[in-house]
Structure 1
């Protein structure tokens, strides 16, 4: 490979093109196979493949009795049976699912419902103390399109219709979902996701993981994001395994892995940290695990080592966005250690990748550039926002991710930062991720995030926010010595702030914009001696 541009062909001879096809395939190949297990405080329920298809069709019938195909149906639900059945029921009815974080505040929920034009919303009566259903009822009066607010209490049976109906034919390029990005600034954009995009991504994800059919996937990732409902729900459907859907609670997740002999665990890095901090992990039998899957943020080689030591299974880390149905690049569990520990792997099937120079041409291997992605399974754009679409996707169909990456000669990519997050100090560029990797390699640090604080002389100063390991204390002088042994002097943080936890978005990404605001507003973070 002379230049950093790859196109991985889409998988051939895959007749399933829409969500209903994949569900039908599972029911045809193994009707009695356990396919979904939902675990809630009220009930633990298992659906066979045939039973899930039948109930999903009855949910679709209920929706079609009140709405036309194409209608936007919003959900504001925690992980549970209602979220799973509505995901499939809406798809079979030829409608568009609008999954919204049940912890959303009023303005966020109203924005999602208004922009999508949702006709109905199914909202949790109580989502971890947040009255999502009350909020939905409150904003409904200001939304003429919103005709129905359904309060969900865990009784999934109420979703089913008692009559069968003819289900519509759904086109592969038809809109399946509108998911809202968890941007740190500005109003969230509605990402359009097609049936074929979800089907192709989950198929490619399943293939790259490489596990044999069957097994048990434990998935505490929220189903209102692509990691939960594309890679999780749809990936497990292709795998024809038992998919254990549960809201994240560390002790419960560890118990489920042990009890059901899980072969795959899906969890964001923050959730893995919380699992590893639990005393129960020492007694949990995790020997059945074959893969631990994560994503949503870059992780250090040291973090990979900690996870693999704790779970005795390879950790694979994806690069993905809502715009890519959750995954674009992914290592295989069998890849060599350097690939799994330091990269996000190679492009999935049906994905074009370019590491672009500032001129937009492919970079040379090892050269830093912006990560561009292309392929039919990616989003066609942002709903009712042509300006944002044009800003993100160029006329050649390339999605400009805003992430900086390096590709090696074998096509594996390493994420090295964000264009907008790059710190410029004294005329030098500093990648926050590089500094964070050095900081978290100190035994007293559990997590770290690095941002720039404005400075008249230097442009920006490097500031580190750190979360200490339990029982540890942060010693700025010691951390500075530690970093100076690993980084060029201009990259070493000039100020340090200890936090109990880093501010995170709903999809567990660090809110760098909030940290930049904190750094700019707090004069105590300014160093006494300039770098």
Structure 2
């Protein structure tokens, strides 16, 4: 990397040449190098859903056992579907999610992991757009999945899992696993776009392999160790950076749902060397009464991302956990990571004020409004390019063309500033996307639901800065003439139709929405109003 850049443009290091080119190769490598290494642990716990689900068995897998069981899952899938079939999951963190991730990859099929908190309409959209043939769901969520799965025409089966991962393995002769090409699709993950409808991001095998390898190298820990990962496995942060990153290290990957007491217990019991958690989750852990008494003496790194951190927040997290922080900037389109600080190599000021430099295989530009590369120290839109990145959105060429230009640059919509050493600071964003607790919320999607209530005539949704959640979803509403606005009723209406993190936290009744001359809502003014109200506790 150049010692002193003059323009905000940087070609990422190519990284080492890898023998592994597809997801299955990384699992085979771990089984070859350390067949007896424990690479997956799932603590026993109560299953998700309606509160009556049976207790999960949990368990641990060596690398050889994980390869054998994932191969059996692949064989079971291949008895029913040809390679290339899309297999959807509606699962919270657990052994089934990991085994299906690897089993689908070994079978040459495409995983479609859907947020298990998604509502029926959201799940139906994901199933329909991806044309998934099969859906795996836990018993406690079968009702939601059943209502959604009845709509897509190509869905052949809904498989209900009762808490025993062995249900994924069906008997019979094992078919030969197919060859898998590095540039073939591995997953379709859904992310909200500015249009308000979630888009299916195509993630290929090579992207998952290269990203997870580069991420693990930037973390800088020696092989082995214990990675505690409560990040959701339907996200790239959970199943690329977590599942795949830990496998490169041949670390014990401890997978569990985020429940503060359970995470703290697992960290102490397994002697965690790395914790992966969004900033909101870190706050919840630090606020938990068990935190002060939790033995964290083996912790070496805390990894986080999903929202901008202030220097004070970095200081607090590092002091409380007793370990340096690795902060990443990434998107689903970048397999979860594009920029990252090196926790063991970067000094404190870099960790406090930047999101580091590009990981291997990532080119970066910061451009001004005219599309020209900005000078060092000047804010502009962050553009990314590299073989790791998505090739585009599933069945959406228009959205793909808007996001990825003719030269292959992904336009992130985020504002960034690059310094002379190539380190970047995120300075805001061009898009109106709200980022709350590490999740993306498209205002238009929420507005459509809010205005679907009979008492609401118009609505505009914005984000307001919040130290814990990154941003809170705030709604400004114009009631129907003669109607009294009932916040509880509209909130209940939203909860039936939106994931919980998308439901507005604050409601403000207005007589009219501020508009531009072209009749567009002036979101900047609403954000200002919301911030002032939030600051004064209203």
**Structure 2 equivalent of residue 446 of structure 1:** none
Q: Tell whether 2:165 aligns with 1:156.
A: yes
Q: Distance in 2 between matches of 1:172 and 1:522?
A: 53
Counterpart position of 1:205: 215
Classify 1:233/1:468 alpha carbon distance in 2 versus 1 (closer, same or farther; 3 Å). Answer: closer
Aligned to 1:419: 430
Tell me which residue corresponds to 1:28: 32
- Going from structure 1 to structure 2, the CA distance change for 1:160 and 1:415 (only over 3 Å counts) comes to same
> TM-score, normalised on structure 1?
0.80
1:124 to 115, 138, 142: 138
Contact residue 81 and residue 154 of structure 1 kept, 8 A: no
Contact 1:463–1:519 (CA<8 Å) still a contact in 2?
Answer: no
Q: Counterpart of 1:110?
A: 124
The structure 2 residue matched to 1:220, chosen from 230, 237, 242, is 230
TM-score (norm 2): 0.79
What is the match of residue 155 of structure 2? 146
The 1:73/1:338 distance shift into structure 2, 3 A limit, reads same
1:518 positional shift: 4.6
| 2:300 corresponding residue in structure 1 | 290
Partner of 2:350: 339
Kindly state the Cα deviation for residue 141 of structure 1 after the two structures are TM-superposed.
Answer: 2.6
Please give the per-residue CA displacement for 1:382-410, whole angstroms capped at 9, x wherever unaligned.
00000000010010100000000000000
Structure 1 residues 192 and 151, CA gap change in structure 2 (3 angstroms): same
Dislocated runs of 4+, deviation >6 Å: 508-511, 519-524
Q: Deviations over 1:508-528 (max 9, x none)?
A: 9986x9589858679996989
Indicate which of 412, 416, 441 corresponds to 1:401. Answer: 412
SS of the residue corresponding to residue 81 of structure 2 reads coil
1:140/1:31 Cα in 2 relative to 1: closer, same or farther (>3 Å)?
A: same
Give, in whole Å, the separation in 1 of the partners of 2:160 and 2:258.
22
Corresponding residue SS for 2:304: strand
Partner of 1:455: none
Structure 1 unaligned regions, length at least 5? 423-431, 437-450, 452-459, 470-502
Residue in 2 aligned with 1:231? 241
Deviation (angstroms), 1:137: 1.9
Q: What is the CA-CA distance between 1:184 and the residue it aligns to?
A: 7.3
Contact 1:297 1:509 survives alignment (8 Å): no
Task: Please tell me the root mean square deviation across aligned C-alpha atoms, in Å.
Answer: 2.9
User: In the alignment, which residue of structure 2 is the partner of 1:428?
Assistant: none
User: Which residue number in structure 1 is paired with residue 380 of structure 2?
Assistant: 369
Match of 2:395 in 1: 384
Contact 2:283 2:468 in 1 (8 A): no
* 1:73 alignment partner, one of 87, 103, 106: 87
How far does residue 2 in structure 1 lie from its aligned partner after superposition?
1.4
Q: Could you say which residue in structure 1 is the equivalent of 2:340?
A: 330
Distance across 2 between alignment mates of 1:97 and 1:4 = 36
- Please give the alpha-carbon distance, in whole angstroms, between the structure 1 residues aligned to 2:508 and 2:71: 50
CA separation in 2, counterparts of 1:25 and 1:520?
60
The Cα shift of 1:362 comes to 1.3
Shift of 1:359: 1.5
Give 1:86's aligned residue: 100
Change (3 A) 1:22 1:519: farther
CA contact (8 A) 1:250 1:275 kept: yes
Specify the SS of the correspondent of 1:74: strand
